[in-house]
Amino acid sequence: MKTYNSIYVLLTLVIIGCSKSDDSIVNEEKPTSIDADYAVMLSSGATLAPQLLNANGELLTLNPEESNLASKSIPQLTSLEGSEFFQYHKTGCSGRITRHDFTKDETAEIDVFDDLDDCMLTAVALLTSDTKICIAYEREIDEKTSTFGVRIIDRKSADLDFVDVPLNKKPLDLAIANDRLFIMTLDVELSEENYLSVLDFSSNSLIHEMNLGFRARRVFNTSEDTIIISYDELHTTLDSASLSFVFTNYAEGTEPKFTANAFDCFDGDGKLYYPKAADAVSTYPEIPAVYDFTKNLVTLYAYENFLTEEKRDFEFEIETTTTVNYDEKNDLILIGYKKVGKQEGGLLRIKPSPEPAFVDHIDLEGVPYVLFVN
């Protein structure tokens, strides 16, 4: 059995703004404004629809053009790959993946599992790269027995060739790095422990399995092609090539809580942007957060520290944060939020630390579900 070295470090937390700031403050040094148009998927009841936005460093407006992506019901599974948004919907006894590229404004439909025609098949995880579409599934044989697998679709092949790889445990989550697929699983037959299976894309075969213990929450890859395995009280950073790992323990009260994050939005430095449970930091249920994996540092942006009460409660009507991303061209944090008691929301833009400041805002006819920066 291979032996791994482990290093334990404590995570730290920074709450931006010790006192309420005046959102009318204007920085003396005016930043360069660069066009960086956005797209936002908006949920409204049971539907999901796109909204295009025109943006630069100084101005944010609605784009009057309509996207070629049609409105759809809320998908069972989603995946992001650059400017591409993938949605999986079950269709009868099969499934369909809708791929939309917001940069090209092109949509394609991909039917999956037609060959199986299995009404007892349930897709449980979806992940995409520029060359692969991976969809993990469970097939119920009877009330007590299920089989598991992952379908790997070759995006570069003319006929979207695929291969099914059987799994001996229930798949929960997927990550891709170093031409490998990392599959977090659950041993439902015996121990209820989590495992990580590693699949090599060159042979489409499983090459390694490791025990993750209990209560692993997610697995995902950073922009540095390392794998993160997250738990409530720590996370493990796994080298995707050597499979060596390092544990990062959280001091009490500093937990970054990205385990429930639906979408992984990173900047060029590998920082993760996401909504985080506010706990005692803010009166709002979730607030914007940024996690720096290189420094083991989470930075929280409480609305009270960069917006006045009038703007928060009356002008913007903020109920909670729904999605967060980053405009790297203009150095702006993008915050999608839901309005109080409404199926509507808005988008805020702020300057990041060390001097966070409100930049602008726009109302949206739906609740922001996920943001794209083109």
Residues 253-258 have a mean pLDDT of: 91
pLDDT at residue 14, as a whole number: 74
How many residues does the structure list for the chain?
374
Whether residue 114 is predicted with pLDDT greater than 60 in this model: the reply is: yes
Strand, helix or coil for residue 89: strand
- What is the reported pLDDT for 355? 85
HSE at residue 255, side-chain half, CA atoms within 13 A, is 16
Dihedral sign for Cα atoms in the order 18, 22, 27, 28: negative
Question: Which range among 252-261, 303-312, 356-365 shows the weakest confidence by mean pLDDT?
Answer: 252-261
Q: State residue 90's pLDDT score.
A: 94
**Average pLDDT value for residue range 220-243:** 93
Query: Once rounded to an integer, what is the mean pLDDT over residues 246-260?
Result: 91
Decide: 341 and 280 in contact? Cβ < 8 Å. no
For residue 24, the SS3 value is coil
Q: Are strands 265-266 and 218-221 parallel, antiparallel or unpaired?
A: unpaired
Secondary structure of residue 115 in the 3-state scheme: coil
Asked if 132 and 154 count as a contact pair (C-beta separation under 8 A), the reply is yes
**Mean pLDDT (whole number) for 78-91:** 95
**Closest Cα partner for 288 from 26, 354, 298, 57?**
298
For the ranges 108-117, 196-205, 220-229, the maximum mean pLDDT occurs at 196-205
Residue 11 is predicted with a pLDDT of 64
Mean pLDDT across the chain, nearest whole number?
91
pLDDT band for position 57 (50/70/90)? confident
